[in-house]
Chains A and B, each alone.
Chain A
Amino acid sequence: MFEAVLLTVITAATPILIAAIGELVAERSGVLNLGVEGMMIMGAVIGFAVANQTGSGTLGVIAAVAAGMAMSALFGFLVLILVANQVATGLALTILGIGFSGLIGEAFIGVPGLILPELYIPVLSEIPFIGPVFFQQDAIVYLGFALVAVVAYVLFKTRLGLVLRAVGNNHGSAHALGYSVIKVRFMAVLFGGGCAGLAGAYMSLAYTPQWVENMTAGRGWIALALVVFSSWLPLRVIVGAYLFGAVSVLNLHAQAVELDIPSQLLSSLPYLATIVVLVLISANRRLTLVNTPACLGKPFVPDR
C-alpha cells in the first residue's frame, strides 16, 4: 500500500518538478514567464501526437521539448525584443497554448496512447521496497532529478551561472560589463520552454497515457508557485514538488478508502495548498528578499 502511494506521488511530482526547474532558470535571468501552462499543454499534445504517429516515445518527447521551446521563443521575441508586458504576454501564451492544443488534439481524443518504458537500473532496482519505487521508473523521472542537479551546479558553481544571475539581479551592470542581457535571457527562456515541453510530454506519455483536453489542469501554474516556494533555490524545488505531488494524489487514495468527503474538496486541495504555501513563504520577508532576482519582470532596452 505504502509503496503504491509513493509511486503515485513520484508520478504526480515529476511534471511540476521539471516545469518548475525550467521556470526557475528563466526567473533567475530576470524573466517572469507566466506561460508555463500553455507551453506544458503544447508539449503534452505534440508529444502525444508525434509518439502516436511515429510509434516512438523518444521522438514524441523530443518533439514535445521542441514545441515548448518554440512557444517560449514566441514569448521571448515579444518580451525581450519588442519589450511587451511580461505578465500579459505570459497570459497570452497560456491562452494560445490551450487553444492550439485543443485544435491539434481533437483528432487524438480517445486514441490509446504510448507509455514510456520503465528503465530498470541494474542491481539497485532489485533492492526490496526501495528498488521498485526509486529505480524502476521511466527515463523522464531520472531526467528530472538530473536536471535539478545540473541547474544547481551550473547556477552556483560555474561562470555561466554567475553571468545568468548577474543579468537577473542587475541588468544594467551586466550590460555595462559587456554581457548581452537579451541573449542570456533568451537562452534562459528557451531552457524554461524546453523543460515545460518535457513536463507536458510526461503528462501525456507517462502520467495518463492519453490526450485529454486541458489535461495539465493548472500544473503549469502550480510549477510557477513552486519557484516562489523554493525561493529560487533548485534543490528546494524537489521538496516542493514532492509535497505538492503528495497533496494531489490524496484524492486518488481517499476514494480507495471511501472517506466521506466531497471529491470536489479533495480535488481543490492542491490549489488551496498552493495558496497557503505562497502565503507562508511570502510572509517571510527575509527568506524571499535574499534570493528573489532583483530585476524579475523588469524590461530591459539596451541604450545604444
Chain B
Amino acid sequence: MRIELVKRKERSQFMALFSPLIAVGMTVLAAGIIFAVTGHNPLEALYKFFIEPLTQQWSLEATINKATPLILIGCGLAVCYLSNNWNIGAEGQFVVGALFGSILPVLFPSFENVATLPLMLIFGAVGGALWALIPAVLKTRFNTNEILTSLMLVYVASLILDYLVRGPWRDPDGYNFPESRIFSDAATLPDVFGGLMSLSTPITILIAVILAVVLAKTLKGFEIRVMGESPRAGGFAGFSAKGLTLFSFALAGGLAGLAGTMEVSGGLNQLLPVISPGYGFTAIIVAFLGRLNPIAIIVAGFVLALSYIGGEGVQSAMGVSNKIASVIQGLLLFFVLACDTLILYRVRMVSRRVSAAEVSHV
C-alpha cells in the first residue's frame, strides 16, 4: 500500500471551505484520544474543553478577550503569508508594540486627556511596525532569511521588556516588584456591551472586515495575492516584490503592536515581565486555520481562544495539565496543513500491483 496524490483539474471549492472543519474534527478526535490515554473520561473532558467555556458569562468574556489579539495578529500575518513573506516574529512585534504604547502612561502619567488613548494606540502600532521592519529591511537589502531574523527578534523583544520592568520602568511605589505603574483611567481602554468585552474587540473586528474588503476588492489586495502566487507574473505587472515585503511586514507588525497595546491598556493595565501567553505564535495557527482570509480568521481566533480557556477549564475541573492546550493547538495546525492538500489533490491509496497494471495498460 502507498499513498498517491492525483492533481485535481481545478481547486476544489468544496474542500477549500470544508478542509478546516475536517481538521478541527480530527483535532477533537485526537484530543479525545489523548484525554483517554492520560486516564480521563474523554467525553467529559471534551465537553469541558470545547463547550463549557461558551455556556457561562465569565468564560465567554475570557474567550472573547483571548480571541481579540489572536484575530488582530492573525489578520496581519495572513497578509504576510499571502504575499510569501514569512513573518514568524509577531510575538516580538506584539511586545514592542506594547512597550511603545506604554510610553505615555508609564513615563508621562500626568498626561491624562482625550488624546491619551488614541496616541497610545498609534504609538503601539508604530512600535510594532518598526520592529517588524527590521527583518523586512534586512531581507530587501541583504537578502537575509526573514524567518530566522524575525524569530530571533522575539527573544530580543522579550528581554527588552524584562529589562524595562525590572529596571527603569519599574513602579516607584511598587515595593520592588517587577511591574510598571498601573495605568490611569485615561490610559485604560473602556469596556463595551455591558462589560462583555473591551473596546479592543470591536476595533479588531472592524479592522478584520476592512482588511477583507481590501484583499478581495482593491488593487492592493490583487497585488498581494499575485505576488504570493507568482512573483514573476507580478513583476511583469509592475508590482515591486521589495515594496510588498516592506508593506506586509509593516502592516503585520503594526497590527501586532496595536494588539499588544490594547492588551496592556484594556486587560493587564500595567506592564509585567511577561505579557503574552504566546499570542504571536498561536496567531500563526489562527491565520492558517482561517485559510488566510480575515473573515474566517475571526472564527479561527475564537476556536484557538477556546483552547486556552478550555485548557484552564479541564485543569481546574479534572486535574488535566493545561499544557494539553498547546498540544491541541499544535495538532490542529498539523491537521489543517494536511487537509489543505485535499484542495489541490485527490488522495488515493494504491497497492503496488494495481499501479503496475495501470502502467502496462498505457
A282 touches B143 (CB 8 A): yes
B327's contact among A87, A96, A218, A288, by CB below 8 Å, is which?
Answer: A96
With the chains together, A217 CA to B152 CA distance in Å?
11
Q: Tell me if A92 and B330 are in contact (CB < 8 A).
A: yes
A268–B326 alpha-carbon span in the complex (Å): 26
Contact B330 A100 (CB under 8 A): yes
Instruction: Let me know if B333 is at the binding interface, CB within 8 A.
Output: yes
Complex Cα distance, B7 from A65, in Å, reads 36
16 A-B pairs with C-beta separation under 8 A:
A34-B147, A88-B284, A88-B337, A91-B88, A91-B284, A92-B337, A95-B329, A96-B330, A99-B323, A99-B326, A102-B321, A102-B326, A267-B159, A275-B144, A285-B143, A301-B5
In angstroms, Cα B144 to Cα A88, docked, is: 19
Indicate whether A124 reaches chain B with its CB closer than 8 angstroms: no
A278–B141 CA distance with the chains assembled, in angstroms: 12
Find chain B residues with CB under 8 A from A88 CB. 81, 284, 288, 333, 337
Q: Is the CB–CB distance between A83 and B341 below 8 Å?
A: yes
* Cα–Cα distance between A92 and B287 once the two chains are bound (Å): 13
How many angstroms from the CA of A267 to the CA of B324 in the assembled complex?
30
Besides A92-B330, A92-B333, A275-B149, 6 other A-B contacts (C-beta < 8 A): A99-B326, A100-B330, A217-B155, A225-B152, A262-B163, A278-B148
- Chain A residues with CB under 8 A of B138: 275, 278-279
| Contact of A268 with B159 in the complex, beta carbons under 8 Å | yes
Residue of A nearest to B342 (CB): A82
Which bucket holds chain B's interface residue count?
35 or more
Is A120 an interface position by the 8 A CB rule? no
Inter-subunit contact A304/B4 (CB<8 Å) = yes
Residues of chain B from 30 to 72 with CB closer than 8 A to chain A in the complex:
none
Chain A contacts of B331 at CB under 8 A? Answer: 96
Query: Which residues of chain A come closer than 8 Å to B159, judged between CB atoms?
Result: 264-265, 267-268
The interface centre, meaning the residue of A81, A92, A304 with most chain B CB atoms within 10 A of its CB, is: A92
B327 adjacent to A100 (CB under 8 Å): yes
Query: Chain B binding site: helix, strand, loop or mixed by DSSP?
Result: helix
**In the complex, how many angstroms separate the beta carbon of A221 from the nearest chain B beta carbon?**
5
In angstroms, Cα B355 to Cα A281, docked, is 47
| Chain B residues within an 8 Å CB radius of A268 | 155-156, 159-160
Which residues 68-105 of A have a CB within 8 angstroms of B? 74, 78, 81-85, 87-89, 91-92, 95-100, 102-103
A126 sits at the interface (CB 8 A): no
Given that A87-B86, A271-B152, A278-B144 are contacting pairs, would A95 and B323 also be in contact in the complex, using a CB cutoff of 8 Å? no
Which residue of B144, B151, B333 is within 8 Å of A279 (Cβ)? B144
Residues in chain A within 8 A of chain B (CB atoms): 34, 74, 78, 81-85, 87-89, 91-92, 95-100, 102-103, 106, 217-218, 221, 224-225, 228, 262, 264-265, 267-268, 271-272, 274-275, 278-279, 282-283, 285, 288, 301, 304
Q: Is the CB of A103 within 8 A of B321?
A: yes
CA distance A267 to B155 in the complex (A): 9
Q: Determine if A275 and B333 form an interchain contact, defined as CB atoms under 8 angstroms apart.
A: no
| B153 proximal to A (CB < 8 A) | yes
Main secondary structure of the interface of A (DSSP, over half): helix
Chain B residue with Cβ nearest A221? B151
Contact check, A278 vs B88: say whether CB atoms are below 8 A apart: no
For B284, list chain A residues within 8 Å (CB).
Answer: 88, 91, 95
Q: B334 interface residue, CB < 8 Å from A?
A: yes
State the CA gap A279–B359 with chains docked (Å).
Answer: 50
Q: Pick the contact of B156 from A106, A221, A271, A279 — CB < 8 Å? A: A271
- In the bound complex, how far is the Cα of B331 from the Cα of A272, in angstroms? 31
Partner of A103, one of B5, B86, B281, B323: B323
Report if B338 contacts A (CB, 8 A).
yes
Known: A99-B329, A102-B326. A275 touches B334 (CB 8 A): no
Question: Is there a chain A Cβ closer than 8 Å to B179's Cβ?
Answer: no
Chain B residues, Cβ within 8 Å of A103 = 321, 323-324, 327
B333–A95 contact, CB under 8 A?
Answer: yes
Which residues in A have their C-beta under 8 angstroms from that of B145? Answer: 228, 278, 282
A224 CB contact (under 8 Å) in B148, B155, B347: B148
| A78, B148: Cβ atoms closer than 8 Å | no
Encoded as 1 (CB less than 8 Å from any A CB) or 0, chain B from 150 to 166 comes to 01110110011011000
Against A, the Cβ 8 Å flags (1 = close, 0 = not) of B166-183 are 010000000000000000
Give chain A residues whose Cβ lies under 8 Å from the Cβ of B88: 91
Specify which chain A residues have a CB less than 8 angstroms from the CB of B345 in the assembled complex: 83
Residues of A within 8 A of B149 (CB): 275, 278-279
- CB-CB under 8 A from A82, the residues of chain B are 3, 5, 337-338, 341, 347
Q: Give chain B nearest CB distance to A205 CB in angstroms.
A: 22
A73 CA to B277 CA in the complex, in Å?
A: 29
B312 at the interface (CB under 8 A from A): no
Least distance between A261 CB and chain B CB atoms (Å): 11
The 4 closest A-B pairs by CB, nearest first: A96-B330, A99-B326, A99-B327, A92-B333
